[in-house]
Amino acid sequence: MSYQVLARKWRPKSFRELVGQEHVLQALVNALDHDRLHHAYLFTGTRGVGKTTIARILAKCLNCEQGVSSEPCGECSSCLEIAEGRSVDLLEVDAASRTKVEDTRELLENVQYAPSHSRYKVYLIDEVHMLSTHSFNALLKTLEEPPPHVKFLLATTDPQKLPATVLSRCLQFNLKNMPPEQIVGHLGKVLEQEMVGFEEPALWLLGRAAAGSMRDALSLTDQAISFGSGKVGEADVRSMLGSVDLSFIYQLLEALCEGEPTKLLDVVAHMGEHAPDFEGGLDELLSLIHRVTMAQVVPEAIDNSWGDAQRIRQIAGTITAEDAQLFYQIALNGKRDIGLAPDPRSGFEMILLRMLAFRPEAVIDNSLGAGELQAVEQQEQQSAAVEVGTQVKKPHEEPQAAARSRTAPEPEPVAVSVATPLELSPVCHVGAFALTDLNPDNWPQLLESLGLVGIVYNIASHCDLRSSDDHGLQFVLDSGNASLFNDSHNDKIRLALENYFGLPLSVRIVPGDVQRETPAMRKARLAQERQQEAIASIEGDPQLQKLIARFDGELDLSSIVPTDL
């Protein structure tokens, strides 16, 4: 018997065997089991995600001799004929090769006739977007009101090219790309069944190279088995795909963390000896920085499928979160520009050197012991934040200014003891007024001094200060802005207030109807008043009035924006 490729041998024969696309399967299974069948289905998605496979399984479900259900028997003559591609009642058409209107008319000539021996006559039209405009027009009426014994199953990789009149006549299901985790899991099961030895990192390389397509992943696996003489090894797959050895990527990131340009270029030189794909190396570097960042934020979420969890933890401990974000952004932008470089290697080197050139300088206090933190208070009132352990250079600082700042004597860094709110002195507060001064009228001014950002600031700005005393504050959160509020937001606002006043506080925030103007309402009101003042000032300008009169012009009020907003 001739060899059958994995992509065909392991094509699912029932919905139970399908990997992924649960959102599509749930809708189809429910429709089949509850006899709520539509006359036309449209499956969209990129290549190799299961469009035609799902359509064929659906045809089996419709024509199984055991009855319409989501689980065809797979043994009756109808199921076997569909599986073997010889069913006379399943008409598969490749629209890419039959684009003419004559082809469509010929296809629809026999629509009115009953199926030969199946329950339904099923028309499966693949790459339906390739049909001509006249072909779609010929199909429309039949597609909208087909005979009861006809079902249309359409598949396309480009639904935007389908006329709206066709889309409106079909139930549309959008199939998603397969994530690498799903592909790797399925490849592992397939290779175990095929009794082919494999290394898990090799499967991850194949899963990522497949770019969301299970069919491509199985085809690449076939190629890897041949390349590796009957086994799937990481080194063989890297060589086959032209991938960069990950050990080089680790060394690059470690050199970046150490700030060593010489070591960095030495690693690139060693990479160059293996004729690597430098653009692929940039992708690997981005993936590694992403994993390092995840390890910093959620350490327990480190994926050890590559067997490098310990090394990821080590790198995560030697790089700041700011540096990781900077490196990631520069590498991401570099992907766009590397094709413009004279050659890929020089473009790759410049991207890495750019990471070092724009890396913020650190202020180090040698008097602090290992693991201790140094807080550097920001002087800019707008940021109102505290940088821990580093003083960040402005990204827009000119090179000349940066050089002066490196040569000029800098003040000694001040080590600040970082204490919990409960450890702060009751008489210490950094704000403009004490807790006893707080009231609903000055709550908006206090809010701007707390250093809150993002959603926490947004929640606090919609709060009405209802009551306050020496030990507690109660706020009412505008119910119209409370959908994302949770206890963690309450805790962050409480900590900010405790740090501001230097006192342990009880802070309670409850959604409800506000009785006074919240900081957000006040900000909106002031902005509106300022806008009206700006419009009045512009409209009252005599020079502008002369220009309008002279040129018969008209003032565009929407273009007026106060300069201080």
Would residue 374 count as lying in a domain?
Answer: no
Would residue 318 count as lying in a domain?
Answer: yes
Number of domains in the chain: 5
18/138 same-domain check: yes
Q: What gap in Å lies between CA 498 and CA 436, rounded to an integer?
A: 14
42/111 same-domain check: yes
15/151 same-domain check: yes
Q: What is the CATH number of the domain that holds 299?
A: 1.20.272.10
89/155 same-domain check: yes
* Residues 6 or more apart whose Cβ sits within 8 Å of residue 431: 446, 449, 500, 501
Record the pTM.
0.54
Confidence (pLDDT) at 431: 52
Residue 307 Cα distances to 204, 250, 303, 324, angstroms:
12, 13, 8, 21
526/448 same-domain check: no
158/254 same-domain check: no
Q: What gap in Å lies between CA 182 and CA 190, rounded to an integer?
A: 13
Domain end marker among 338, 357, 376: 357
Q: What gap in Å lies between CA 473 and CA 465, rounded to an integer?
A: 8
Which of 527, 555, 528, 553 minimizes the C-alpha distance to 540? 555
Q: Find the domain containing 193 and state its range.
A: 180-241
Would residue 368 count as lying in a domain?
Answer: no
pLDDT of 420 over the 90 cut: no
pLDDT tens-digit profile of 123-138? 999 889 888 888 888 8
Would residue 385 count as lying in a domain?
Answer: no
256/205 same-domain check: no
Would residue 206 count as lying in a domain?
Answer: yes
Average confidence score pLDDT of the chain: 81
Q: What is the CATH number of the domain that holds 233?
A: 1.10.8.60
506/527 same-domain check: no
Q: What gap in Å lies between CA 153 and CA 41, rounded to an integer?
A: 5
**How do 386-388 and 375-377 pair as beta strands?**
antiparallel
Confidence (pLDDT) at 361: 62
Confidence (pLDDT) at 362: 45
135/192 same-domain check: no
Please compute, for residue 429, the number of CA atoms within 13 A of its CA located in the half-sphere on the CB side: 20
Residue with tokens 């992907």: 335
Would residue 390 count as lying in a domain?
Answer: no
Question: What value does the mean pLDDT take over residues 49-53?
Answer: 90
pLDDT of 524 over the 80 cut: yes
511/532 same-domain check: no
Residue of higher predicted confidence among 547 and 377: 547
Domain end marker among 118, 152, 174: 174
3-state SS, 373-404, equals CCEEECCCCCCCCEEECCCCCCCCCCHHHHHH
Would residue 373 count as lying in a domain?
Answer: no
Q: What gap in Å lies between CA 24 and CA 34, rounded to an integer?
A: 16
536/447 same-domain check: no
Confidence (pLDDT) at 305: 58
Residue with tokens 């009642």: 89
Structure token digits, residue 111: 């629509």
Q: What is the CATH number of the domain that holds 35?
A: 3.40.50.300
Q: What gap in Å lies between CA 20 and CA 10, rounded to an integer?
A: 15
pLDDT of 519 over the 90 cut: yes
546/480 same-domain check: no
Instruction: Count the neighbouring beta carbons within 10 Å of the beta carbon of residue 483.
Output: 7
* Residues 6 or more apart whose Cβ sits within 8 Å of residue 191: 197, 198, 203, 221, 232
Count H helices, E strands: the chain? Answer: 23, 12
Domain end marker among 219, 241, 263: 241
**β-strand partners of 92:** 124
DSSP 8-state class, residue 21: -
Would residue 401 count as lying in a domain?
Answer: no
